Amino acid sequence: MKILIIHGPNLNLLGQREPEIYGSLSLNDINAEISREARQFDFKPESRQSNHEGEIIDWLQNAANENFSGVIINPAAFTHTSIAIRDAIAAIKLPVIEVHLSNISDREEFRQKSLTAAVCRGTISGFGATSYLIALTAFKHLLVH
């Protein structure tokens, strides 16, 4: 099964950007961990990162046509601002799990509200890169059982 992993804006700067909040792993490191973990479930992850809202929307809308079984998305700052990404998630028939490296409930007030969470199957937040791995385990239970 193919799982689409979408990393939102500024996540290309992981490892350099505020490591005290987001950790010291780079996006390449995180993608490598995702690939290792996915193998045990016979998932084929495809990771994509964009700083552009429209590109993320296109990926979501085309995911089923590209034969993905589900989506793991870290919308990053778009979590709190993008009704368009929220609507794209709501419009597709695939299950979507939202992840965050930091605990958004323990952040600045403007980061505590997720516009996208209500249209996702679930949200995992606050476990650093492990948030993505937990999402893969959740998909194992959603898609395989």
Residues identified as active-site: 22, 100
- 27 Cβ contact list (under 8 Å, min separation 6): 7, 11, 12, 14, 15, 49
Cα dihedral across residues 108, 87, 140, 40: positive or negative: negative
Q: What are phi and psi of 122, to 5 degrees?
A: -170, 170
**Cα diameter, the chain:** 39
- Is residue 89 within 8 A of residue 57, CB to CB? The reply is no
